[in-house]
Amino acid sequence: MKTETIAIHGGNNVTDALKPVIQPITLSTTFEHQDNSMLYGRLENPNRKSLEQVMAALEKGVDAAAFSSGNAAANAVFQALPAGAHVIAPDDMYHGLRSLLETVFFDKIHVDFVDMTQPEQVAAAIKPATHLLWIESPSNPLLKISAIKTLCHLAHENDVTVVCDNTFASPIFQQPLEEGADLVMHSNTKYIGGHSDVIGGVLITGKKTDFWNKIRSVQQLAGAVPSPFDTYFLTRSIKTLPYRMKAHAANASQIARFLSKHPLIEKVYYPGLETHPGHKTARAQMQGYGGMLSVVIKGNARDADRFVDELTYFSNATSLGGVESLIERRSRVQGVTEGVPEQLIRISAGLENTEDLLEDLEKGLKVLR
Ligand SMILES: *Cc1c(COP(=O)(O)O)cnc(C)c1O
């Protein structure tokens, strides 16, 4: 099966005698004892299993574990590490995960945050206690591109496990397991769900290892599992994921080109632009450049807020990956950090008509003149 076919037929396990075309939602928390039957809803559920199967197939993995959020999925990886483990993570790691490491795991895991666009910085950070290399590419919000194959090679030479947060690319545009990663993580809240109405997360593995078994135990015993409704919505959304991603990327690319020529825009971060420092790497490891971009306007935070508030089709809200365009001044959420000035605006290109979106941005920029 090829991608579009997997998205529609993968994991759609109909066992009902009525033969519905779409697998029903199974709400039952318990199942009658039989050989090989499911036992209890925290451990297993048919809709969760369907989501895990289709995500494993899309990422070319052998197994997947679904969680109640992206952070819960990442949390399971960190919980599965031995106490005292050393982790290398990107210096611009998704801020919610950086906070998780720094607040919950600070006394269990030692983390070095490095610039992953520079493999020699990763090589220099590897120590005997290093267990895990966490990659995020493209990164949030600077759309930095890490060379996944190079970093995996470096990690594996040192017996380090590699996890790649593939949320921004989606499995449609990037398959990190094929580049050598051991595990892939997604926030299902973003493109997988795609309609801004479900919180969820997933891990996919390329091999069934002891580490993977431990992660499965964290899922089933710690129990941060998604509901049957949530997993049903996610498998429903995945059916259109390949087509949504192409349309998100087409809109993002048009917006990036439009804004990069605009006199009131200082800088545009989009890996599809030839001027982006990670463009060549992105072209080699991605099949599309995604629907996310960031821009720095000429002006200060107040100007950025005035621009954002002037827009009609872009909602001023955090998150990404939904059918509706979203825009936010990023430092409202994560503060001013290195490389993220107060006037940096992050855009999630939705699926509205391209011309409507460009006209809206043009109108919004007029307040800055
Ligand atoms: C949103 C996001 C997460 C966290 O996912 P939640 O579903 O919000 O818990 C992790 N990584 C990236 C890149 C994200 O965008």
Which tens digits make up the pLDDT trace of 73-94?
999 999 999 999 999 999 999 9
| pLDDT tens digit sequence for 239-286 | 999 999 999 999 999 999 999 999 999 999 999 999 999 999 999 999
Q: Compute, in angstroms, the gap from residue 292 CA to the centroid of ligand 1.
A: 14
**Structural contact between residues 82 and 131, judged by C-beta atoms closer than 8 angstroms:** yes
3-237 fold: Aspartate Aminotransferase; domain 2 (3.40.640)
Residues 162, 149: Cα–Cα separation, whole Å: 11
Bridge-based pairing of strands 86-90 and 130-136 is parallel
pLDDT average, residue stretch 323-341: 89
Question: What single-letter amino acid sits at 240?
Answer: T
Mean pLDDT, rounded, of the chain: 96
The pLDDT value recorded for residue 306 is 96
Contacts of 157 (CB under 8 A, 6+ apart): none
Ligand 1 pocket mutation pick from 97, 134, 139 by most atoms within 8 angstroms of CB: 97
pLDDT average, residue stretch 336-345: 88
Q: How far is CA 257 from the centre of its chain?
A: 24
- Tell me: cis bond preceding 24? Omega within 30 of 0 counts: no
* CATH no. for 243-367: 3.90.1150.10
- Is the pLDDT confidence value at 33 over 80? yes
Cβ–Cβ contacts within 10 Å for residue 273, how many?
17
By CB atoms closer than 10 A (0-12, 13-18, 19+), residue 227 is middle
3-state secondary structure of 273: coil
Dihedral sign, Cα of residue 11, residue 16, residue 20, residue 23 = negative
The pLDDT value recorded for residue 31 is 96
**Structural contact between residues 342 and 331, judged by C-beta atoms closer than 8 angstroms:** yes
Domain boundaries, the chain: 3-237, 243-367
How confident is residue 16, by pLDDT bands cut at 50, 70 and 90? confident
Which ligand 1 atom sits nearest the alpha carbon of residue 71?
Answer: 9
Pick from 346, 250, 248, 338: nearest CA to 295: 346
The pLDDT value recorded for residue 143 is 96
Nearest CA to ligand 1 atom 8: 70
